[in-house]
Structures are given as structure tokens and as C-alpha cells.
Amino acid sequence: MPIYHKLGQIPHKRHTVFRKPDGGLYAEELMSTEGFSSLYSLVYHVYPPTIVKTLGEPYSVEPKIARAKYLKHTSLIGFNIKPADDYLESRKAVLVNNDLHISLAAPRHSMTDYFFKNAQADEVIFIHVGTGTLKTGFGDIRFGYGDYLVIPRGTIYQMQFDTEDNRLFIVESFGPVRTPKRYRNQFGQLAEHSPYCERDIRRPENLQTHDEKGDFKILIKKQGLIYPYTYGTHPFDFIGWDGFHYPWAFSIHDFEPITGRLHQPPPVHQTFDGHNFVLCSFVPRKFDYHPDSIPAPYNHSNVDSDEVLYYVDGDFMSRKNVVKGQITLHPAGIPHGPHPGSVEKSIGKEKTEELAVMIDPFHPLMLTEDAVGIEDERYYHSWAE
């Protein structure tokens, strides 16, 4: 999110002497993207961020593809992903391509004995169930039901959960995650027509400098492998930082829907922009107000992209037998639409209470073994029932 922010202590000028109370130098680190050409932050550490004590053997976490090519409307019952104690082990990739991985997770326990850094992808973590705190060197972000946590690649973090009941919908984007360009003016500010603004963005706070030496395990993900690193200093030893590259949060409940006299197409729900995909939020809203309008979505042929919908809560008038945590995948190449009877039933309705996350990838998704294990194999029959 291109908003300048700073926390803690920083020197008056970049790349200048900045001393500790004992006379030693703080260690400056530039965290930059696209070389030196895009968003960056300058971080000041108590110790250099380069003190590696040991390296463990890397191990693969590559998704195992079960179905690379298919042409069938598919539904996954997401809450059938079994909970796991460990955060990383709980993450199960279900839909993947070369631009993004979509995962489900049900972690029971907080991260206490290690830290995690995704060095290959930005992460968007949607909190479906649970509350807690995202902890980083940049500061803390409290999270709860309906929050999107946007964690740029290279950020070392821990997830602290308040209880053992947690459900997460996670998108790993191999390109940067940004606000849609059409929402921003030439200076980067979110414009008046945007469905959310800077006031809705929650940035890190409560920076705590961990001046600690010891053994600190950091699991780093890159190219489908986890590399176990042990550093000699605490990764959250920031004394201060400033810039545009940092984690942030946005609640789906703060997305202001765009409505009209006639049915609005999905782009009005767009929330984030990724490389070769978009992410949208469907929220409670007034239906179309033309006297002859049909609120139910029309039949749609996906010519260029798959369509993924993750059902969060509420009543979905275009679908039958929807459950929380369900994922529907409508692949490019065949049409999809409202279930039988839904169109007539929707006429005259004034509003919807639905809550969902939608992803449209512009390259086909593949199903993993974990996806096939939670598939509702009769879903494609549902239009004929």
C-alpha cells in the first residue's frame, strides 16, 4: 500500500551516522522491491541482519498436483481441511498456477519457536475464523474476522492466535499485491470513487525493539523449498523504520459496495490487484433499484479466466446448499450461472447479506491432492437438480 509510514527512531538523513547510546552504530538495511525502482523501506537494526549461525537442510513444500487439466465446475468444502497444531503445516495449497497459490489453513497454535519469511511471494491472509496479532519487526497488527493481512515478500513474521479455533484463506502472489490502479489518482492517493480509502488501512503499531542475542530459527520459503536458518540475533530488533514497504491490514467489513440501477459486474467488487489475477470482496449491499431489475447474476461464459469464489458468510441467493468455507471453481471454457429457480426468486429482493472473496486468475488453476480430498464430486450436477 503506497502510504508513507514510520515508527520508532530514525536519523534525520538516510545513510548517515546513527549511533546507539553506547556509541556503536545501528545497522541500516534497505528493503527494496523491483531492484531499486519500486516501493522500499529503510530499517534500522540493533545488530546487523546478517549474523547466520547455522543452516539446516531445505525441504520441499511444493504442492502436489492431482489435476493439471480439467473442464468441470468444481466445489471444495474448505472446512473439511483438518486443523493442525503448527501454522506452516496447517497451510494446504488447493488451487495453484505460476502466478498464485491459494491455500486453506486451520492452525491451532501460535508460532512461538520459529519465525517465517516468504521470500518468493506476497501473502494475503484472509481471517475467516479467529483473532490474534501479526507480529513483525515493523510492529504489531491486531486481526480478527474479516481482515485481510497483506504481508509483502521478505517480511519476517509470527502469527499469534488468541484461541485454537482459526480458519484462514491464504493467497500467495508471485507478483506484487497492490490497490487497483483505477482507484488511485496520479499521486497514488485513493480517489473519491474508490470503495475504500486510506482511513481504512491499518498499519503496524506498537513497535518493540528486541535487543536479544541467541539462537533464532527463521524458516524461509523460496522456490517451493523451506530453508531453515538460525540467526544469532532476534529478527525483531528494529529500533525504527520508515518507507512504503511494510505489512498492513484491511477489513472486508470496511469495503463500501458500488451499486446501480441494474446488476453490476464483478469488477466493481475488486479489492486488490495482483500479477495476472484480481481479488474481489462481495459484501452486504442494496440490490439493483431499476423496477424491472433482476438481482441474481446473469449466466456468464468465462472466456479468458477461471473464477474462484470463497464463501464466508450470509445468504447466497444465486447458489443452493452453500456452506461457510466452501470454494467454487468455475473454469474458463464453459458457462456458469445461478442455480435453477434462483433468478425468479431474486426478483423483488432489496438487499443481500452475502460475504465472499472472489479471485479471477487469468491463467488456468490446477487442483492439488489436498483439493481433491475435500471435493464435492456432485457439484457440477447442481444446475440440473
- Name the residue with cell 463500501: 256
- Asked if 263 is an active-site residue, the reply is yes
Residues 6 or more apart whose Cβ sits within 8 Å of residue 241: 6, 7, 8, 10, 41, 42, 43, 44, 137, 138, 207
**Residue 109 is assigned to a ligand binding site:** no
Tell me which of 109, 253, 263, 275 is the catalytic residue.
263
Q: According to the annotation, is 273 in a ligand binding site?
A: no
Q: How far apart are CA 266 and CA 222, in angstroms?
A: 33
> Which residues touch 165 (CB under 8 Å, ≥6 apart)?
129, 130
306 appears as a binding residue in the annotation: yes
CB 231 within 8 A of CB 52: yes
What is the 3 state secondary structure string of the chain? CCCCEEEECCCCCCCCCCECCCCCECEEEEEECCCCCCCEEEEEECCCCCCEEEECCCEECCCCEEECCCCCCEEEEHHHCCCECCHHHHCEEEEECCCEEEEEECECCCCCCCEEEECCCEEEEEEEECCEEEEECCEEEEECCCEEEEECCCCEEEEEECCCCCEEEEEEECCCCECCHHHECCCCCECCCCCCCHHHCECCECCCCCCCEEEEEEEEEECCEEEEEEEEECCCCEEEEEECCCCEEEEHHHCCCCCCCCCCCHHHHEEEEECCEEEEEECCEECCCCCCCCCCCCCEECCCCCEEEEEEECCCCCCCCCCCCEEEEECCCCEECCCCCHHHHHCCCCEECCEEEEEEECCCCEEEHHHHCCECCCHHHCCCC
Active-site residues: which are they? Answer: 263
Task: Output the known binding site for homogentisate.
Answer: 336
Task: Output the known binding site for Fe cation.
Answer: 300, 306, 336
Task: Output the known binding site.
Answer: 300, 306, 336
